[in-house]
A and B are shown apart, each in its own frame.
Chain A
Amino acid sequence: MAENGRNKGVEQERRRLLQAGAGAVALGVIPGASQLAAHAQGAFDWKKFKGEKIEVFLVKSPRGDLLTKYHKEFEDLTGITVGSEMIPEQQQRQKAVIEFNSGNTSFDVIAISYHVQKRLFGKNKWLDDVRPMMADKSLVDPNLDFADFAKGGLTYATQADGRIDSLPLNLDPWVVYYNKELFDAKGVAYPKNFAEMVDVAARLNDPAKGVSGFVARGLKNANVPVWSSFLLGYGGAFIDANGKLMTDTPEALEAAKMYQTLLAKYGPQGVAGFNWNESQSLFLQGKAAMWLDGIGFAQPLEDPTKSRIVGKVGYGVMPTGPKAQVSALFGDGEGISTFSKKKGPSWFYLQWASNKANQTRMLQAAAGAPVRNSAYAAAQSSADFKAPKQWVECMLTSARIAQPGLPVIAPVTEFRDVFGIALTNMINGADPAAELKKATAEFQPILDKSEKT
């Protein structure tokens, strides 16, 4: 009951402040919305929701671990108790969908992946629009500094209808890791465009020595971003303005052919079953010249206990395609469940999680690539920051040229599955045009259905 009252309080307060402006005195406050309303008129105060308890639902990952490690700091700062659950990504996504679908969630704050969940969550309005709270000075930390957030991150967090239903935490643009030693041995320079990329892969491919010119994900589902990386450079897109798939256009076909050439011709044996971990272990052994994947792998590559190529790794920005230079982007953030009864405390948690200190920590621990620009300067100036300079430059450049690496639709997983199978089949010798045509025909009705209901 008390919780309901408080919830109503937040609602009323928000509406009132929107109507009357932030400066309005709490004239129309209904008795019962006591605690919150009493504070509403004042300046921002971290202790406003002291004594409340929220539940956060995180993904088991270096980022989830890091936030959990510092929850005590948030509790000391705000007096809000944090209960947290952290489970592996796939299970976390399943549980979230099932809970949202049931009309009630056990959590107040949830970590989401934009590339998978943005459209599904946006379509169902499962997360609260944070703009009203952002506009309310009494609820926003003066140090929040929205200008500090990279544009790519904020774009990712903004729904097509303008709602902002999360705050971004981590960006994951795709880059090319390359083995400088192998490049130098043959006097080859890092490729500037797609044609050079294929050429370099061909020249460095040396099956007799067990060295592959190129490695990337071939496993279905996981492999789709590799193809998107090429597709975007060819000037292609996933879907046109009318919701029609553009996955069998000449651009998509060129990208698929490039995928097929690089993986089937210059990739390792069995690459059709490779996910990022198999690719990584091959690259770590110095057995691949180039590896295309998300930017978050610097730590193992520079770790002498795991890597044979410490200090020899180059971090390259995605080469320019015939139409554009684009880095396929992935990312995650946190939002507030629309069924939460603790909107205020949850909003405080969101602000804390994405603050400068936490973003800098994320980078220092190599747990991800922060959305805040200031984190890069802060991390580099600290003594224990070990990531190579080239990695940081690569990240900043890639983030500038990044575009979503997957279509923003509800059935993303099914999209990845259908096109992933097509790509795997291509590695095993199938005709790219026929495979794309088949996959497009198979997926179009699924897409139509998802947008209709």
Chain B
Amino acid sequence: MSTNATLPARLAPFLARRRRSYYLFIAPALVTIGAVIIFPWLYTLWMSAFDWTLGSAAHYVGFGNYEKLFGNQRFGEAVLHTFYFTALAVAAPLLLGTAAAMIFHREFPFRGVLRGIFIMPMMATPVAVALVWTMMFHPQQGVLNYLLSLVGLPPSLWVYSPTLVIPSLVLVEIWHWTPLVMLIVLGGLAALPTEPYESARLDGASEWQLFRYITLPLVAPFIAVAAVIRTIDALKTFDTIYVITGGGPGTASETINIYLYLQAFAFYNIGTASAVVVVFFVIVLALALLLLHVREKTKWM
């Protein structure tokens, strides 16, 4: 009789059947991920081992594409441009966004309306934003040089100068994405406990001390989240740069993405482009791990 057997023993076959049916449920997800993530990934790896230009035959070259990339001055410069652009395009919005959040955290008249206006850039389409900025950067007819002339400054070449092009592009990023950082940090500020401030005030702490030793450490995890989002966004920036400069003047603002686009879709060098993707992936992965590590350290909740 069934009562002789222990309960777990009686359940075992049932559980085994259940387990089999679990697999059935995750199968669609597995298949989808396999088809849209894992397969393309492996195929890219595979293609990066070929010397293949569309319209010509493919030859197996092993690590040949990678060797060429590492010896390629232009690719090296593209990597440096990417880091330079990313560093500026992360740091500046973080600083300004945090400052803006501190301001908007206080009570003042029309705060809601002003906050709404402040976040409007975020809603604009990057390509449209880029086109407008292109006009504003124009050395003869652009509004930026006109503004400079109003305050008596000499005109600048903005994106038309090889040395100024990346900082100028970062200007667009700052305008576009500072509001995002502000929103995240503002959310953080709203969640802060009030007790530490009260006791610090009793101990006679100054406003700066309150900010430096209480607000900043407490809000740090939120800034870290904003940093992760900004870093990913900045690394993958393509539309702004492509529309405004196309990587120019010359190659002065050519980032890995622009270089990759040229190789894949202008020169049709599929092998080289695949190798660039793989290298870029490794870079993104390394940066992501680094940022996760930072996030762990800033955790307090």
Which B residues are CB-close (under 8 A) to A272? 160, 162, 248-250
Partner-contacting stretch, out of B34-42, B188-196, B265-273: B265-273
**Any A CB within 8 A of the CB of B48:** no
Given contacts A97-B55, A98-B54, A282-B140, contact A413 B250 (CB under 8 A): no
| Chain B residues within an 8 Å CB radius of A273 | 159-160, 245, 248-249
> Of A94, A123, A220, A269, which is within 8 A of B249 by CB?
A220
Query: What residue of chain A has the Cβ atom nearest to residue B58's Cβ?
Result: A453
Q: What residues on B are CB-neighbors of A278 within 8 Å? A: 138
A285 interface hit (Cβ, 8 Å): yes
A425 to B262, CA, bound (A): 19
Tell me the residues in window 381-419 of chain A with beta carbons closer than 8 Å to chain B beta carbons. Answer: 410-411, 413-414, 417
Contact B141–A270 (Cβ < 8 Å): no
Q: Is the CB of A428 within 8 A of B140?
A: no
Instruction: Establish whether residues A281 and B141, one from each chain, have CB atoms under 8 Å apart when the complex forms.
Output: yes
Bound Cα distance A417, B266 (Å): 9
Residues of chain B with a CB closer than 8 A to A97's CB: 54-55, 268
Q: Shortest CB–CB separation between residue B215 and chain A, in angstroms?
A: 43
Alpha-carbon distance between A123 and B161 when the two chains are bound, in angstroms: 40
CB distance from B292 to the nearest CB of A (A): 36
Q: How far is the CB of B284 from chain A (nearest CB, A)?
A: 25
Query: By the criterion CB–CB under 8 Å, are B138 and A424 in contact?
Result: no
Q: Does B102 touch A at the CB level, under 8 Å?
A: no
A268, closest chain B residue (CB): B140
Chain A residue numbers with a CB within 8 Å of B262 are 417
Which residues of B lie under 8 Å from residue A271 when comparing CB positions? 160
Complex: A124 Cα to B56 Cα, angstroms: 8
Bound CA span A38–B70, Å: 64
B265 to chain A, nearest CB (A): 5
A5 within 8 A of partner (CB)? no
* Contact present for B249 and A219 (CB under 8 Å): yes
Residues of A with C-beta under 8 A to B246 = 219-221
Q: Which of A120, A282, A413, A427 contacts B266 (CB 8 A)?
A: A413
Residues from chain B with a CB closer than 8 A to the CB of A413 are 266-267
- Separation of A273 and B165 alpha carbons in the complex (Å): 10
- 1/0 contact string of A259-277 vs chain B (CB within 8 Å): 0000000001111111000
Q: How far is the CB of A79 from chain B (nearest CB, A)?
A: 36
The docked-state distance in angstroms from the alpha carbon of A427 to that of B157 is 14
Instruction: Check A94–B265 contact: CB distance below 8 A.
Output: yes
Q: Which of A220, A273, A414, A449 has the most CB of B within 10 A?
A: A273
Instruction: Give A238-297 interface residues, CB cut-off 8 Å to B.
Output: 268-274, 278, 281-282, 285, 287
- Residues 47-97 (chain B) with a chain A CB within 8 angstroms: 53-57
Contact A220 B140 (CB under 8 A): no
Q: With an 8 A cutoff between CB atoms, is A421 at the interface?
A: yes
- The verdict on B121 contacting chain A, using a C-beta distance below 8 Å, is no
B139 within 8 A of A: yes
Confirm or deny: B112 has a beta carbon within 8 angstroms of a beta carbon on chain A.
no
In the complex formed, the residue of A with least CB distance to B56 is: A453
Query: Judging by beta carbons under 8 Å apart, are A410 and B55 in contact?
Result: yes
Does B251 reach chain A (CB closer than 8 Å)?
A: yes
Report A's interface with B, CB cutoff 8 A: 94, 97-98, 100-101, 120, 123-124, 210, 218-221, 268-274, 278, 281-282, 285, 287, 410-411, 413-414, 417, 421, 424-425, 427-428, 449-450, 453
30 A-B pairs within 8 Å (CB atoms) are namely A94-B265, A97-B54, A97-B55, A120-B55, A210-B140, A219-B248, A219-B249, A269-B139, A269-B140, A269-B155, A269-B157, A269-B160, A270-B140, A270-B157, A272-B160, A272-B162, A272-B248, A272-B249, A273-B245, A274-B160, A278-B138, A281-B141, A282-B141, A287-B140, A410-B56, A424-B250, A427-B249, A428-B250, A450-B53, A453-B53
4 nearest interchain CB pairs?
Answer: A270-B160, A270-B139, A273-B160, A453-B56
